[in-house]
Amino acid sequence: MKTAKRVKPVVIVFLFSFFSSLGLWYCSSLFPPLSPFPEQGQGERSSLPPSQGTQASPGTVVSIPPSPTEPPPAPDSFTTDSSPSVPQPVEGTIAPGDTLYTILRRENLDPQQIMELVEVAKPLHDLSRTIPGNTYSLLVDREGKLRFFRYQIDELDTLVVQRTAQGLEAKLETLALQTRLTRVAAVIEDTLYHAVLRAGEYPQLAFMLADVFAWDIDFSTDIRTGDFFRLLVEKKYTPDGKFVRYGPILAAEISNQGKVYRGFYFQPPHGEGDYYDEEGRSLRRQFLKSPLNYRRISSGFTYRRYHPILKRYRPHLGIDYAAPSGTPVVVVGDGIVTWAGWKGGYGRFIRVKHRGNFVTSYAHLSRYAKGIRRGVRVKQGQVIGYVGSTGLSTGPHLDFRLQHNGRFINPLTVPATTAAPVDPAYRELFKRYARKLQEVLYPSTLMSSETLPVEVIAFQQGASTVTNALRQSRCLAAKKC
């Protein structure tokens, strides 16, 4: 029997070495070895750049600058600025329910600095009364000190507080407004309010016009379809053209039930401005024609009226003005409050004594205006209470009454006592001014609103605005130019 030949160990070793070398060669062709000093553009990032001269040991990966064709990494992605951050101003809008204290505490301002800020600003503005929607900005430094605070009070005024070497200092920045003269005219189809809106103006202008003629016309009961008005008014705008508010009505004319009323605003050099007719007579009377604005008369003056609660006829020696609860009630003339409290069937009640032995009373009020109490002096047109339905009342209304020498009289027929006319020393100046204003009023067509150049009523040479024209005319009249 033949036996198998044994392979010599030398052959086995040779074959193992051969195939191992072949395998290593094949792997090296697929995966080239990493070099401790790779060629430019092949390096990996590390915390130590080669420029620091550190000797790289085998197996250490060292970063090198990127090649020119490869954009460098974004600094904010791989690096951070070790320098302290610069404080940035914080801006915001007052939210409902926010107070200055809560806003500043959120910005980590301590209570002591908040009190200091409030005290510094107090002579200019009360910061305890912030209004939702107004804007603010502030800057607090790294030490927690308030450096700057800015608060928008309204469209015109801004409070600015800055820290100086002496501490916090406050100032008020007021936006300079531009004045434009506007001529407005309209036919009244239903109410003065809607006529003003149809002419392209704001509701406030209707209230202002009603105030000019409040002693002659009750704009809720006297107005008729076909009545019309013309007026010349100042309008105030910001430098960028945004309307802010109305200035005074300089001249107005209204035709009511065929009768024409005119009023011209005039302020003497040493006195308050007021409205006068073309002859210089004051439009102001001792009593307003009504204690409410925009209302309807539900029950008139009579000695025989059926009382809806008592179920019998009894005198009603006043005027009932039906109006929504809460409507402001104004005193019709200057006087002193002699009663402010509950009075039986009249409910909440106010009585005011006027000069000339006149007394007015206001009944069924829902509440009194702030500060109204017995002994207080009140001015014509001042709000003294609000419409309600207290006492013997079937609904919200004002029971208004007028007495003279202890006797009730009809408020709608009381004789008018006028205020003082234009000072005789300025009578001719006023008449010239009124004539010029009339010339400007009449070219307007009804149902229109147009802006005029301010020079249209400058009747003295060199005057370019209404104010300058009037000031220069007063100066000439007083011979103090």
- The position carrying tokens 């007083």 is 478
**In this model, does residue 217 exceed pLDDT 50?**
yes
pLDDT of residue 301: 35
33: left (phi over 0), alpha (psi -120 to 50) or beta: beta
d(CA 476, CA 428) in angstroms, rounded, equals 12
pLDDT of residue 446: 62
Q: Is the pTM of this model over 0.85?
A: no
Q: What is the pLDDT of residues 268-279, one digit of tens each?
A: 877 788 999 999
d(CA 45, CA 58) in angstroms, rounded, equals 16
**In this model, does residue 45 exceed pLDDT 50?**
no
Calculate mean pLDDT across residues 361-373: 96
Torsion of CA 10, 15, 16, 21, to 10 degrees: 130
**In this model, does residue 173 exceed pLDDT 60?**
yes
d(CA 80, CA 95) in angstroms, rounded, equals 36
| DSSP per position, 197-264 | HHTT--HHHHHHHHHHTTTT--TTTT--TT-EEEEEEEEEE-TTS-EEEEEEEEEEEEEETTEEEEEE
d(CA 49, CA 78) in angstroms, rounded, equals 14
State the amino acid at position 83 in one-letter form: S
Closest alpha carbon to 62 in 78, 79, 50: 50
**In this model, does residue 40 exceed pLDDT 50?**
no
Task: Rank 116-130, 321-335, 339-353 by mean pLDDT and report only the highest.
Answer: 339-353
d(CA 38, CA 36) in angstroms, rounded, equals 6
> Hey, what are 180's tokens?
């434009």
Where do the domains of the chain lie, and which CATH numbers do they carry?
90-174 (3.10.450.350), 177-284+418-481 (3.10.450.350), 296-413 (2.70.70.10)
pLDDT band for position 465 (cuts 50, 70, 90): very low
Calculate mean pLDDT across residues 198-223: 88
Average model confidence (pLDDT) across the chain? 77
The answer to whether the CB of 182 falls within 8 A of the CB of 452 is yes
pLDDT of residue 10: 57
**In this model, does residue 154 exceed pLDDT 90?**
no
* Gyration radius (Cα) of the chain, Å: 43
The answer to whether the CB of 398 falls within 8 A of the CB of 323 is yes
The answer to whether the CB of 466 falls within 8 A of the CB of 479 is no
Calculate mean pLDDT across residues 86-105: 86
**In this model, does residue 292 exceed pLDDT 60?**
yes
Residue 442 burial by Cβ neighbours in a 10 Å radius (0-12, 13-18, 19+):
exposed
**In this model, does residue 47 exceed pLDDT 80?**
no
pLDDT of residue 372: 97
- The position carrying tokens 């207080």 is 376
